[in-house]
Structure 1
Amino acid sequence: MKFSIVSKGDKRSNKIMATVKQYLTDFNLIYDEKLPELVISVGGDGTLLEAFHRYVHRLKSTAFIGIHTGHLGFYADWVPEEIEKLVIEIAKTPYQVVEYPLLEMIIRFKTERKEIRFLALNEATIKTAEGSVVFDVQIRGEHFETFRGDGLCISTPSGSTAYNKALGGAIIHPSIEAIQLTEMASINNRVFRTIGSPLILPKHHTCLLKPMVDRSFLIARDHYTDTYTDVKSIQCRVAKEKVRFVRYRPFPFWNRVRDSFVAEGEEVHKA
């Protein structure tokens, strides 16, 4: 099997990367950065996002697994103390794969520029540095609302625990093929009105955002941000592609949610 490793870049993560690479090559696995079947992320969730975007063109052929060297991550199953066990699992055990849905965003322009399509594992956000974001929000081809506010966050189920949660969005299990549209500081008064609640759209529903005021937009996909001008529309929906994660043992989503947001508080309460 061919494998690759993406490291956070700090001293500890690089040391673990070197160790894992040596162990796996000793088991006659092939290190191949161009065409890996397995990508091992060493760091945190940000490192796995980097790995995902590095190999986003190979999602059908590449699966991911994470070793977290910082705080407990949502995408990292293993800790540094388990490296030897993980290496043996990779070398000797057929792995299971779980698939998570992704967000597809297509940006179209007023000019004849070619449209831009990208995928996000966590979320995409749309903001502007030129006042308020004003969008005609269409769902399934029909007008839903006119949004005015700081911006919008469109998240995947696996990304629902990230920025989306901080905005008051719902946590969605990643087995549900959906995207979530969450507002950032919407303007609601006697003149302007939005739904004010996160919207969860199934995979067969498409959301189209049409700018109603000429702005340049800061559009981020996961942790990559670019500025776009002359935007005609932004289309959001569940992507046909999925991300594949390797599992050698159970890693229940709700356990991760509890351990990340609830468990420590419960321990303090008991004390």
Structure 2
Amino acid sequence: MRYYVLDRGDQLSVELSEQFHKLAAGRGFQLDAESPEIVISIGGDGTMLHAFHTFIDRIPNIAFVGVHTGHLGFYADWKADEIPELIELMSGAKSADQLKPRIAKYPLIEIEIYKKSGQTTCIALNELTIKGVDGTIVAQIDINDELFEMFRGDGICISTPSGSTAYNKSIGGALVHPSIEALQLAEIASINNRVFRTLGSSLLLPKHHHCDIYSRKEQRLLLTIDHLNIPVDDLISIQCKVAEQKISFVRYRPYPFWNRVREAFLG
């Protein structure tokens, strides 16, 4: 098995990374930074986002495993003291009657950014957010090439189902099971009065739909794709849709999504 480990860089994560390498060598695993079959993220959800974007060009050929070293992460199945058990399951050595690992595939967002200076294509695991640098943004939102609303407010968030538990939740968006191939559009502090009107609630678009966001004034914007910030002052439009490719996670034991939600938010 070819593998790679990406850790958060704090003392605990580095120690766990070293422990993983030692145990993996004993099982005959091959450390491969160029073309791993499995990437292990040790840290938190932010570490997993970093791992995802590190291997963004090889997503169809890689599966991810998360080990969290702090609070429970939505992308992490394993705790810090469970690495020996994880290694045994990865090697298939734990028992003859163990469950076979399952591959869970989560939808991603494909983002086309059109600027006066050129075009860029990006992929997001969690979300895209659009915010104004100098205050209120003005943007036209089209759904399937038809005008839906003219937005004025602090910003717009487009999230994946797996990302619905992150920033999207904090602005009142719905939690969406990651088996649903959809994207969610949520407004960030929209202006609603007698003159300006928006829907005011988040909405889900299925895989065969797309939304376009057009800049409708000269404005400096900050686009954030997962943990990556992109300042833009010449935006024309952004198109978002469910990507054809998906991210793969290896599940060596059951850990239902709604159990994660309950443990993360309800205790």
TM-score (norm 2): 0.96
CA distance in 2, matches of 1:226, 1:123: 13
1:268 corresponds to: none
Correspondent of 2:172 among 155, 168, 172 = 168
Cα distance between partner residues in 2 of 1:81 and 1:227: 40
Q: Does 1:130 align with 2:138?
A: no
Q: Is 1:102 the counterpart of 2:104 in the alignment?
A: no
Q: Which deviations, in whole Å up to 9, do the C-alpha atoms of 1:111-155 show, x marking residues without a partner?
A: 4x2x11111111110011123111111000100010000000110
Among candidates 248, 253, 258, match of residue 254 of structure 1: 258
List runs of 5+ in structure 2 lacking aligned partners.
Answer: 94-99
Question: Which 10-residue stretch deviates more, 224-233 or 180-189?
Answer: 224-233
Structure-1 residue corresponding to 2:124: 120
2:157 corresponds to which residue? 153
- 1:229 deviation in Å? 2.1
* Structure 1 moving runs of 4+ over 6 Å: none
Give, in whole Å, the separation in 1 of the partners of 2:261 and 2:16.
26
Task: Count how many residue pairs are aligned between Structure 1 and Structure 2.
Answer: 261
Secondary structure, in 3 states, of the residue corresponding to 2:224? strand
Deviation at 1:96, TM superposition (A): 1.8
Q: Find the aligned partners of 1:196 and 1:261 in 2 and give their Cα distance.
A: 24
**d(CA) in 2 for partners of 1:262 and 1:66?**
21
Query: Structure 1: which 5+ residue stretches go unaligned?
Result: 264-271
Which amino acid in structure 2 is aligned with residue 181 of structure 1? L
Cα distance, 1:26 vs structure 2: 1.5
**Preserved contact between residue 143 and residue 212 of structure 2 (Cα < 8 Å):** yes
1:15 aligns with 2:15: yes
Aligned to 2:242, which of 232, 238, 242? 238
- How far does residue 82 in structure 1 lie from its aligned partner after superposition? 1.2
| Structure 1: distance between partners of 2:243 and 2:127 | 12
Percentage identity across paired residues of the two chains: 50
- In structure 1, how many angstroms separate the alpha carbons of the residues matched to 2:137 and 2:239? 16
Q: In structure 2, what is the equivalent of residue 63 of structure 1?
A: 63
* 1:218-237 equivalence runs, <5 A: 218-237=222-241
1:109 Cα shift?
1.6
Q: What is the CA–CA distance in structure 1 between the aligned matches of 2:14 and 2:89, rounded to whole Å? A: 21
Distance 2:133 2:265 in 1: 32
Who is 2:4 aligned against?
4
The Cα shift of 1:95 comes to 2.7
Who is 1:267 aligned against? none
Contact 2:101 2:253 in 1 (8 A): no
Deviations 1:91-116 (A, max 9, x none): 126532110000111101234x2x11
Amino acid at match of 2:139: F
CA distance in 1, matches of 2:218, 2:185: 22
Secondary structure, counterpart of 1:159 in structure 2? helix
RMSD value over aligned CA atoms?
1.0
CA distance in 2, matches of 1:108, 1:27: 48
TM-score normalised to structure 1 length: 0.94
